[in-house]
Chains A and B, each alone.
Chain A
Amino acid sequence: RKEVEQDPGPFNVPEGATVAFNCTYSNSASQSFFWYRQDCRKEPKLLMSVYSSGNEDGRFTAQLNRASQYISLLIRDSKLSDSATYLCVVILTPGYSSASKIIFGSGTRLSIRP
């Protein structure tokens, strides 16, 4: 089983729609969670961190459910510029003296149509 799993999509939605992405992780020792955005042929860039209390940044809302090992990202009032691949990211530190792994999901491709 993959450590981080995402629906690969693609999602093709009209401008103004609300889009939801989901991600599950397998290791309950995972500590930190993020959503990254990757444009075609570019490097990934941080979109937002994800907290159990939920966090919102404009049209974007991220949520973490530790009990279900589930992370979500909601985009409201989608814009053409939101078209990209969205990557779920988990930081896992196996032990106190171990290095931390940053693990990416396979990404969900989003296309917004006019």
Chain B
Amino acid sequence: DGGITQSPKYLFRKEGQNVTLSCEQNLNHDAMYWYRQDPGQGLRLIYYSQIVNDFQKGDIAEGYSVSREKKESFPLTVTSAQKNPTAFYLCASSIDPMRGTEAFFGQGTRLTVV
């Protein structure tokens, strides 16, 4: 079955540590996105990528980094520079957003800093 897989579902991190969230899709989608959602709030765009080896900063990129070495994969690293990293992280992909195709989401990773 095609879809987007995020792992792990729950992640605990000590303050000051970097952590990488995985996002893999087998939908052959070109575009991939990372969002952050805080309790009771909407989704805020962290980074997005239209093609391999290219990505752009979203609205809240500070303290995060990404790579897009393969079409299927778009991992997000939460660095120690991110001051308030505890949140629900959602990865999405879209076949062709320029033509108005919708985004499909993974099930999310809940990151907690302890």
Interface, chain A (partner B; CB < 8 A): 6, 31-32, 34, 41-46, 49, 87, 89, 91, 93, 98-107
Contacts and interface: CB of A to CB of B under 8 A. Distances in A.
Interface of B: 31, 33, 35, 41-45, 48-51, 54-56, 58, 88, 90, 92, 94, 97-98, 100, 102-108
A7 to B, nearest CB: 12
A31 B98 contact: yes
Contacts of B90: 43-44
A31 B102 CA distance: 12
A21 to B, nearest CB: 13
Contacts of B45: 101-104
A45 B108 CA distance: 12
Contacts of A44: 43, 90, 105
